């Protein structure tokens, strides 16, 4: 700096200082400070603070710009064009650091970079309904934001992340075959994807994105956001000795399917885990709804039952097989709609017997015993059927029953065992429901019926296989199905235990 100017500056300051001294109250004389040269920084015409040196601020801004350019790998970072720095003389000593001025500017009018804002509009999308109930809880609905905005610098990054997320629900091969119309026709059994689409409206526009907003530059990170919603929903798990897909899923409030979706490299339920392997775990909350409609033809095995005939003329303990049992096969054609890998609607459009079931008949010596085996449970719906959701964790909540669908709206629901009807009622979550006390400690619960049962009332005694209601879609339900529960103790009462019903068949 020029020496002469400095001296001039100092002398002007001195003169001003003296003038001020004369103008101020006597008592303040000793408090008066020597005025200092400073710079007032204005943003949009508003003063935001004093700094010691303008060049220091400009250097700092340049440095920050450079950092941002490197961070986002861009050529240009836009500084708010309404920053003004005006030389001033002050008697205050509240000079701010350039860092705090910079932070102040960035908070009010952040630096921007050119990129794209993608908007996922879920306003008209299907709401996720959780058919899981916890004591005191109202039916839960989708609490996702209706509008999600995602900032990226490169359009391709967003597209790739969406595609990767889609591959969590359908395999790349299935996707390619669907897109290119090269799916194999179904000869005997198999499946065809009839529709595959994202239900939400996704739009994009070029924009100046404030650098203090989240800007995605990593494909993996964006993919995980699209799958889990918030980063806080997600964590990693290191596989230990003896871990299985089931145990890892269960310990993290997930089901195996969700674990496979979150770790697309695992792919199949037979995937082997190895010690030290890192898995992504957490409650998934996908940012979009991918709808799949499949036409499925599959063979369902109908297990044979064993009947006992008692022959008085033979000795107790003696027995022989009169008819050898053999399983039947039914070919079932289904239409299945799922959203983000979970079945929301399923209907059996055709079923054809390929091989009849032959029940086994065993002849035993002696009289028919009085106590009938407690083992047999009757299936609560028509056969064939589709299990649309298993017992276990789903979307971070415990699903305490099994969802059975495919047999159609209004199809009969049967008592799984003899017992006394204890509920014929309506509930916000369960819809129209029936509860049966089997008087051996077990209770069964039948939910989402079409209406208040027209077959039974509270206090009625039912036999196994009696019709107790019609399949429906009432309460917290997304499509026609029966939500079937087996408990010891009255459902949801304290001390009662729920079981996976499929383990009883
Ligand atoms: Zn259910």
Express each pLDDT in 192-242 by its tens digit: 999 999 999 999 999 999 998 999 999 988 988 998 887 677 889 999 999
The residues spanned by each domain of the chain are 3-109, 230-283, 376-505
Residue recorded with tokens 């303990």 = 317
For residue 127, the model assigns a pLDDT of 77
For residue 16, the model assigns a pLDDT of 43
Among candidate residues 229, 207, 40, the one with its CA nearest the CA of residue 110: 207
Residue 479 CA to ligand 1 centre (angstroms)? 10
Least confident of 7-21, 33-47, 325-339: 7-21
Taking residues 92-105, what's their average pLDDT?
A: 87
Residue 137 is encoded by which pair of tokens?
């809880």
Express each pLDDT in 363-382 by its tens digit: 988 877 655 444 579 999 99
For residue 290, the model assigns a pLDDT of 92
| HSE-CB for 182 with a 13 A CA cutoff | 7
Residue 447 CA to ligand 1 centre (angstroms)? 8
Residue 282 CA to ligand 1 centre (angstroms)? 21
Residue 342 CA to ligand 1 centre (angstroms)? 12
Kindly report the backbone phi and psi dihedral angles of residue 227, in degrees, each rounded to the nearest multiple of 5, phi listed first: -90, -40
Express each pLDDT in 320-355 by its tens digit: 999 999 999 999 999 999 998 889 999 999 999 999
Examine domains 230-283 and 376-505 and report if their fold is the same. Answer: no
How far is 472 from 108, CA to CA, in rounded Å?
A: 55
More confident residue, 400 or 133: 400
Task: Round the average pLDDT of the chain to a whole number and report it.
Answer: 86
Residue 306 CA to ligand 1 centre (angstroms)? 30
Residue 269 CA to ligand 1 centre (angstroms)? 22
Residue 189 CA to ligand 1 centre (angstroms)? 28
Residue 275 CA to ligand 1 centre (angstroms)? 34
Superfamily of domain 230-283: LysM domain (3.10.350.10)
Residue 398 CA to ligand 1 centre (angstroms)? 10
Residue 389 CA to ligand 1 centre (angstroms)? 7
- Longest pairwise C-alpha distance within the chain: 133
Residue 389 pairs in a beta bridge with 403
For residue 15, the model assigns a pLDDT of 43
pLDDT band at 247 (very low <50, low <70, confident <90, very high): very high
Residue 210 CA to ligand 1 centre (angstroms)? 44
For 445-478, b/e burial (b = at least 16 CB within 10 A) is bbbbbbeebebbeeebebeeebebbbbbbbbbbb
- 376-505 is classed in which CATH architecture? Distorted Sandwich (2.70)
Residue 432 CA to ligand 1 centre (angstroms)? 13
Kindly report the backbone phi and psi dihedral angles of residue 417, in degrees, each rounded to the nearest multiple of 5, phi listed first: -160, 160
For residue 176, the model assigns a pLDDT of 93
Least confident of 113-127, 269-283, 466-480: 269-283
Residue 401 CA to ligand 1 centre (angstroms)? 6
**How many residues can be counted in the chain?**
505
Residue 482 CA to ligand 1 centre (angstroms)? 7
Residue 484 CA to ligand 1 centre (angstroms)? 7
Query: Counting Cβ atoms within 10 Å, is residue 15 exposed (0-12), middle (13-18) or buried (19+)?
Result: exposed
Give the Å distances, CA to CA, from 479 to 45, 165, 391, 417, 434. 59, 25, 17, 26, 19
Residue 132 CA to ligand 1 centre (angstroms)? 6
Taking residues 10-39, what's their average pLDDT?
A: 53
Check pLDDT > 60 for residue 21: no
Among candidate residues 452, 459, 456, the one with its CA nearest the CA of residue 426: 452
| Percent of the chain residues past pLDDT 90, beyond the cut | 57
SS3 84: strand
Residue 425 CA to ligand 1 centre (angstroms)? 17
Check pLDDT > 80 for residue 27: no
Residues in contact with 219: Cβ distance below 8 Å, sequence separation at least 6, in sequence order: 157, 160, 161, 164
Residue 87 CA to ligand 1 centre (angstroms)? 71
Cβ distance 324 to 360 under 8 Å? Answer: yes
For residue 467, the model assigns a pLDDT of 98
């Amino acid at each position: 700096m020029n020496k002469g100017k400095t001296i001039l500056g100092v002398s002007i300051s001195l003169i001003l200082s003296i003038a001020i001294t004369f103008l101020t109250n006597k008592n303040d004389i000793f408090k008066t400070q020597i005025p200092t040269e400073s710079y007032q920084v204005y943003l949009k015409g508003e003063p935001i603070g004093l700094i010691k040196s303008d060049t220091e601020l400009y250097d700092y801004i340049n440095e920050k710009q450079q950092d941002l350019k490197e961070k986002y790998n861009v050529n240009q970072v836009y500084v708010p064009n309404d920053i003004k720095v005006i030389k001033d003389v002050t008697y205050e000593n509240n000079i701010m650091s350039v860092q705090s001025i910079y932070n102040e500017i960035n908070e009010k009018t952040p630096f921007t970079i050119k990129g794209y804002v993608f908007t996922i509009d879920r306003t008209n999308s299907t709401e996720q309904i959780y058919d899981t109930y916890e004591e005191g809880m109202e039916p839960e609905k989708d609490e996702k934001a209706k509008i999600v905005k995602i900032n990226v610098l490169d359009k391709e990054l967003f597209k790739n992340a969406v595609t990767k997320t889609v591959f969590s629900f359908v395999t790349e091969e299935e996707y390619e075959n669907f897109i290119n119309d090269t799916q194999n026709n179904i000869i005997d059994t198999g499946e065809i994807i009839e529709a595959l689409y994202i239900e939400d409206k996704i739009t994009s526009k070029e924009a100046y994105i404030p650098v203090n907003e989240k800007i995605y530059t990593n494909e993996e990170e964006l993919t995980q956001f699209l799958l889990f919603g918030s980063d806080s929903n997600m964590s990693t798990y290191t596989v230990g000795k003896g871990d299985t897909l089931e145990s890892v899923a269960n310990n993290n409030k997930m089901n195996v399917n969700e674990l496979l979706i979150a770790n697309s490299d695992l792919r199949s339920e037979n995937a082997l885990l190895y010690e030290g392997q890192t898995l992504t775990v957490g409650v998934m909350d996908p940012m979009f709804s991918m709808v799949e409609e499949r036409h499925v033809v599959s063979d369902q095995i109908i297990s044979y039952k064993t009947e006992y005939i008692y022959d008085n003329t033979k000795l107790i303990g003696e027995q022989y097989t009169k008819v050898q049992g053999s399983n039947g096969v039914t070919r079932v054609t289904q239409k299945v709609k799922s959203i983000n890998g979970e079945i929301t609607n399923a209907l059996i459009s055709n079923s054809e017997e390929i091989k009849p079931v032959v029940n086994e008949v065993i002849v035993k010596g002696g009289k028919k015993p009085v106590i009938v085996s407690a083992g047999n449970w009757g299936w609560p719906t028509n056969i064939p059927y589709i299990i649309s959701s298993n017992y276990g964790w789903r979307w971070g909540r415990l699903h305490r029953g099994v969802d059975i669908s495919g047999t159609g709206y209004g199809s009969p629901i049967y008592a799984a065992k003899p017992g006394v009807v204890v509920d014929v009622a309506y509930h916000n979550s369960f819809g129209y429901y029936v509860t049966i006390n089997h008087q051996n400690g077990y209770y069964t619960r039948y939910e989402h019926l079409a209406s208040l049962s027209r077959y039974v009332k509270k206090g009625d005694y039912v036999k196994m296989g009696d019709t107790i209601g019609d399949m429906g879609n009432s309460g917290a339900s997304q499509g026609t199905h029966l939500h079937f529960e087996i408990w010891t103790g009255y459902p949801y009462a304290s001390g009662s235990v729920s079981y996976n019903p499929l383990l009883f068949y």
